Structure 1
Amino acid sequence: MAVTSIDELPEALLLHILSFLPALNAVRASLVSRRWRNLWRHIPILEFDMSLYHSPPNPLSESRDFFAEFVTQTLLLREHSTPLYSFRLVFNHRDFRRTVTRVNSWIRYAIASGVVFLLLSFEEDLFVKSEEDTDEDETWQKYDFHFSYIRDSTVSHLELDNCRIVWPKSLACDGFSSIRSLYLCHVSVRDRVLCSVVSSCVNLEFLSLSCISYLRNFKIHSQSLKELELELFNIRRKDVGSLDIYAPNLHRIIFDRFSVAEYCSRDLSSLVEANVVFLDDGHEDFNCEVLQLLTGVKRLTLMHMRFDRHGWDYLIKVSATKHTSVSSAFKSLKFLELKIEYAEYELFEIAAFLELCPGLETLVLDGYGENDFPLLESFKSKPPIFHFPNLKQVKMRNYRRTEKELYVVELLKLHMVVLQKIVAFPREANGETSAPLVLFDSSQ
């Protein structure tokens, strides 16, 4: 029989639809009809975002109080026998002394309800203040997330934003086997605490660390870890900070503007893919030494690496420390993506870099910048020699058909061995994409 009204849908489907709404909107939906009146009490996904409750010029403190009361009443009136799959909280708790007890009770409720996805964000400056707001009577400090909260819990996915992780020395390291993925952003955590967290989550498969404060030495030892993301961490002093990785089952790693003085890996034998975004701040002290961890990968993406003599010297030094023959440093590499400006000096160093990758099969050149200066005569008289005996495909992104790009195409075709195709993807204009251009096809 055909369904003619949304009220005729099965209750399970209606609950699934309501799960996509923030908690406030889901509760409001109870006014739709008598059948919907108590549906919100059985929703397995709860999302409480304080930004939906704050409307300047109303004072932020009033919005905070209303929000806190709404969360408390929602959890009290919810059907406790209904399992809770996901709990997301975005909250400004500047008046810390008045709110910390409530926040603790909300989190404990979610964990006691068998939550699987737990997402907590305490962004201080997320909300616009009105002229009537004052901080004189408020106390603010980062929320302390006690890792003991999730001991022996069902939490599989944990995201923490703008808080501090507390791990007492007396806390036992067992009981955290449920954790599979962990995201930490703008979190304050000490070296010892991070080491304890990672080593105690014995089934951890995904770890993301972004904008971490107080940390100096990253010790990441995990038998189960498969993906690792390290973002936005840079200590200007070259003699400070270290990264020590032991992850024999790690498949993929991302370094996004992450720089420390010392890199050490015990076992990265399963590493297949790596992405590196270097610091692009105009300084010459960027760190290429991270590449010493990645010489065994099959897929490598390098963004904002300065292919000048400074950077190339670093790369040769790093490669020489890991291999007796520099020419075989990246012998397992099959896919390489580079972000370049097609400057003459870059092309020479990239040609040299390709010699370290004898097994390379796919090369992606992602053009950036607006450098349209004509090629130097000295460059034309002695162009770089590209050596890629196994290269089969070249992709050129953000293609603008400049003189330098066309010249690179000719150089690639000149030194081809098994090259099958060169495809260009034109740069978007006015938000519109153009069809790819086949610049070379050996089958034609």
Structure 2
Amino acid sequence: MKPIKDFRGKHTVALTHVTLGAEGSLPKLLSLLKIMEQKCKIGGQSLRKPEVVNEDRISELPEPLLLQILSSVPTKTVRATSALSKSWRSLWELVPNLKFDSEFDKSEHHSFSEIVFRSLLSHKHPVLESLHLVARDESEASDVGIWIGAAFARHVRKLVLDLHNQESVSSARLPSVLWSFNSTLETLELKNLILLDIPSSVCLKSLRKLQCLLNLFDGCPGLEDLSVNRKRNTDVFYFFIEVPSLQRLTIKDSFAGEGGEGYVIFTPSLKYLNISGFELLAFCLFYDTPKLEEAKVVDISYIFNQNILSILTSAKRLTLDLSSFKNEYPTGIIFHQLVHLELSTLKQWNLLSLMLDSCPKLQTLKLIDLCRYAEKDCLVGWDWSQRKCVPDCLLFHLETFMWTVYDWEQEDEEEVAIYILKNARRLKKAFISTKPIKSKEVKKLEKRREMLNQLATEVRASMTCHLEFKCDTFFL
């Protein structure tokens, strides 16, 4: 990736990626550990009493299992175990996964930075599997370069930096020397607002997963997973992503620009694509995506120059919500491999018609109707028109039909449902869910029952099709 924009004479990018994750846990064993920690806090020397030692069953577990348990709890709790007994004194220094949060990892005698640095210096495991750092104040993040240097010296494989600053981009900088050579880092996640100094030469040979926006691609020949989250207050306008090894790409763009921004993407090994939030872009152009298997394209608006739908033809699974899409749908393209399609129904009957014609091998069709906010008269492509020729997918391949939040009060939706049931010859299962109705709305309940019964009694092309109705509890 070529430098995008200079900032004070250095190649920098404002990072705004925010993700949430959760570590696995072993509930029963962790509860024992918490009990032991409470005893440690309550009584210091009382832990050495015979009756207490006899209850210390957890210490009898094998060391690898103990390390696995300790890896599932906050590092502050892990450090506290050193006071449990002599056998636990140095065990925490071998824990392969560390997480520090400035909100909790403080003491009267040591700052957050001192705690992090001392813990890293004391770490004795051959490889630091993961290091997660959360700094909630700019001053706390001033030593981020020192922390990362210590982590790199311990062969860290996964590095997560979450630096908070509510007012502006954090002044915390990752020294350029840290990108010069690293052969162990496999996953890098940079969250919230960070400025990076990216040198012209980058070497992260083992990197497989990247969540950020930066000029590291040329130095990451094995990169497979890239997540980009572009928000407001960014000074980056053009993104050129060229990664031959990339297999998964996620782009969330919530920056409403002025029509001058855009993406150019070269990813010949791409298998999974997830893009959302594009609004008023100058261009979004994909090149060379022959291996694409699955894609999710939602919430995109007008793009002056784009080829998004055209590059999806090799996909086997598609999720499309183009209710805000103001470009014309391309015609003449065929999705020869597509077997699973999820489609938003809001003002998209023309898109449904196009996809039925363009997906000859479609086996599963799921219609989703979660957004009924617009007035019917304002919707383009809303009216469903009966087709002269039945698409091949309905005649020969469609086996599963699902409709989430079917609006039984809309005549057009009834027409679409009847059309599919009457023409899908190989259909095995049909699931239709509706919004719940309050029990006191008796007339409405009777009307819905009448409409659904009418739909159920319609002639179906497949005599073996099982039709099921249910109330969607999502709206309860």
Band the TM-score falls in, shorter-chain normalisation: 0.7 to 0.9
**Deviation at 1:122?**
0.5
Q: Kindly report which structure 2 residues correspond to 1:225-236, keeping only aligned pairs within 5 A, or say none.
A: 225-236=246-257
Q: CA deviation at 1:419?
A: 3.4
Aligned to 2:316: 298
Q: Secondary structure at the match of 1:261?
A: strand
Query: Matched residue of 1:202: which SS?
Result: coil
Contact between 2:134 and 2:161, CA under 8 Å: does it hold in 1? yes
Query: CA 1:371 to 1:410, structure 2 compared with 1: closer, same or farther past 3 Å?
Result: farther
> What are the ranges of 5 or more consecutive residues in structure 1 without an aligned counterpart?
55-61, 126-134, 320-325, 431-436
In structure 1, which of residues 176, 199, 213 is the aligned counterpart of residue 204 of structure 2?
176
What residue in structure 2 maps to residue 26 of structure 1? 78
8 Å CA contact 1:276–1:302 kept in 2: the answer is: yes
Task: Tell me, in whole angstroms, the C-alpha distance in 2 between the residues paired with 1:336 and 1:366.
Answer: 11
Show CA shifts across 1:48-76 (max 9, x none). 0123348xxxxxxx999732232233223
Relative to structure 1, is the Cα distance of residues 329 and 91 closer, same or farther in structure 2, using a 3 angstrom cutoff?
A: same
Asked whether 1:69 is paired with 2:114, we answer yes
Q: 1:370 to 1:176 in 2, by over 3 A?
A: closer
Structure 1, 22-31 or 397-406: larger mean CA deviation: 397-406
Q: Distance in 1 between matches of 2:219 and 2:238?
A: 18
Query: 1: CA distance between counterparts of 2:123 and 2:390?
Result: 67
Deviation track 1:2-37 (CA, whole Å, cap 9, x = no partner) reads x98112111221111011111111111223333222
Q: Structure 2: 5+ residue runs without aligned partners?
A: 1-54, 439-452, 466-476
Larger displacement relative to structure 2 (198-207 or 78-87) = 78-87
Cα offsets for 1:305-357 (capped at 9, x unmatched): 247xxx4xx333xx2xxxxxx3444344322111224xxx5434522443233
Aligned to 1:397: 404
How far residue 86 of structure 1 moved from its aligned partner, in angstroms, is 0.8
Q: Which residue of 2 aligns with 1:414?
A: 422
Task: Tell me which residue corresponds to 1:132.
Answer: none
Note closer, same or farther for the CA distance 1:71–1:207 as it changes in structure 2 (3 Å cut): same
Identity over the aligned pairs, expressed in percent?
25
Count of residues in correspondence between the two structures = 377
Q: Matches of 1:85 and 1:229 in 2, distance apart?
A: 24
SS in 1 for 2:103: helix
TM-fit CA distance, 1:394: 1.2
Q: 2:288 aligns with which of 244, 249, 267?
A: 267
Contact 1:394-1:423 at 8 Å conserved across structures = yes
| CA separation of 1:65 and 1:335: change in aligned 2, threshold 3 A | same
| Change over 3 Å in CA distance of 1:330–1:81 after alignment to 2 | closer
Question: Matched residue of 1:105: which SS?
Answer: helix
Cross-structure match for 2:129: 85
Amino acid corresponding to residue 145 of structure 1 in structure 2: L
- In the superposition, relative to structure 1, how do residues 383 and 291 fare at CA in structure 2: closer, same or farther (>3 Å)? closer
Q: Given the alignment of the two structures, is residue 154 of structure 1 paired with residue 184 of structure 2, yes or no? A: yes
Structure with bigger RCO (C-alpha 8 Å, 6+ apart): 2
Do residues 121 (structure 1) and 159 (structure 2) align?
no
Equivalent residue letter for 2:102: M
The letter of the residue matching 1:296 is: S
1:253-299 Cα distance to aligned partner (Å, 9 max, x none): 110213532132331111111101114xxxx7467753233233222
2:345 aligned to which of 340, 358, 382: 340
Q: Aligned partners of 2:149, 2:262: CA distance in 1, in Å?
A: 35
1:13/1:261 CA distance change after superposition, 3 Å: same
Contact 2:105–2:115, Cα closer than 8 Å, also in 1: no
Q: Given the superposition, is the C-alpha separation of residues 86 and 374 from structure 1 closer, same or farther in structure 2, using an over 3 Å criterion?
A: closer
Q: Give the equivalent residue in structure 2 for 1:322.
A: none
CA distance in 1, matches of 2:314, 2:423: 26
Contact 2:144–2:172 (CA<8 Å) still a contact in 1? no
Match of 1:47 among 91, 99, 114: 99
**Distance in 1 between the 2:98 and 2:383 partners?**
66
Letter in 1 for 2:273: I
In the superposition, the TM-score normalised over structure 2's length comes to 0.69
Q: Name the aligned partner's letter for residue 223 of structure 2.
A: L
Verify the 8 A CA contact 1:144 1:166 in the aligned structure 2: yes
- Counterpart contact for 1:390–1:419, Cα < 8 Å: no
1:363 to 362, 365, 384: 365
The answer as to 2:146 corresponding to 1:105 is yes
Superposed CA RMSD: 3.6
Verify: 1:278 aligned to 2:273, yes or no.
no
